[in-house]
Chains A and B, each alone.
Chain A
Amino acid sequence: MKKNNKHTISKYGFKTPKNYFTSFEDSVFEKLSNDNLLDTTNFKIPENYFETVEDNVFKKLNLKKSPKIISIRRILIGVSVAASLLFMFSIIFSGNGKINPNTIAINEIENWMDDNIENIDTHAIIENISIDAIDTLQIYDTNEIIDELEGVDIEQIIIEIETEIGSDLL
């Protein structure tokens, strides 16, 4: 009698949706499949294949002549200089030669950038840079960059750049 009572209370009011247990396996297999845990193809791979891929690729890379490393900083300087020169020449030769930066409308600068920046072929710039003259890649540590930036007054730098550009153009 006691057992019967317990059995009645065994689910103690809890129910499940209809057919929950009949479709349960399919739900789990769907999850396994979504997590790519099931072998859905018949293709096999060697044991530990994915653990050795990187090493094998690096081994192959070492057989080839190690490529010369180009300093990103120098490339950026090159690109910036080229862009600045193009900008200045186009302004100078398109007008009467006397330029007052205060008179250049913002939308004129934006239009110029839209028309010309895309035309700068960075690949061509890189190809024309003498590889031998380029430093090896200089990696900046994040902390070094943060240290550099700390205490820097960005607004002051902008004012200085504006003044410099203004005096050069005038």
Chain B
Amino acid sequence: MTEKALIKSLKNSTSREVAFRQLMALYKERLYWHIRKMVKIHDDADDVLQNTFIKVFKNIDNFKEESKLYTWLYRIATNEAITFINKRAKQQNLNIEEVHFNITNNLQADIYYDGNEIQFKLQQAIATLPNKQQLVFNMKYFDEMKYNEMSSILETSVGALKASYHYAVKKIKVHLEKSN
């Protein structure tokens, strides 16, 4: 099924449920890993992913098709994950950096994490970055996403994204050197 046909089915109330299942089957894993890299813990990623799809289901009629469907989905998933982290910060009366720091430090207690020492150190280094730089680093380094795609998802210019990635890599390098 083409993307256009899928969107048409999603916007039709009689075919919506079947189409929605197809949509989830197509994008759940990609979106899950995108979210998981941001919130780190599986249960939180699961919550955010479910909320993302529920938002998609509720708002599919408002999707104007000015961007690709997956770009729209990524944008919703990113916003949901950021909202989740902000809420967590508010609940715990912490700033965003402290939340990232706490989550990462507790990562090894998560039964769904079995990263080795290097992987854990990398996570700690990523946690020291500002939100936007973390996002850019994850999308570029792990997902190998093109700057053009990232630009439409994050609504940021390619130049600004390149600069963010450059700074992120630099900071991670310094952090890893210090920790060694």
Contacts and interface: CB of A to CB of B under 8 A. Distances in A.
Binding between chains A and B = yes
Interface of A: 6, 9-17, 20-21, 24-25, 27-29, 31-32, 35, 37-39
Contacts of B37: 14
Given A21-B29, A37-B58, A28 B13 contact: no
Given A14-B36, A16-B112, A28-B54, 4 more contacts: A6-B141, A6-B144, A21-B32, A31-B54
Contact of A15 (B25, B114, B142): B114
Bin chain B's interface residue count. Answer: 20 to 34
Interface string B24-40: 11001100110011001
Given A28-B54, A37-B54, A13 B116 contact: yes
7 contacts: A12-B115, A13-B116, A14-B113, A16-B32, A24-B28, A37-B57, A39-B17
Contacts of A28: 24, 50, 53-54
A20 B37 CA distance: 17
Contacts of A15: 42, 112-114
Contacts of A11: 33
Nearest to A35: B54
B54 A17 contact: no
A25 B24 contact: yes
Contacts of B112: 14-17
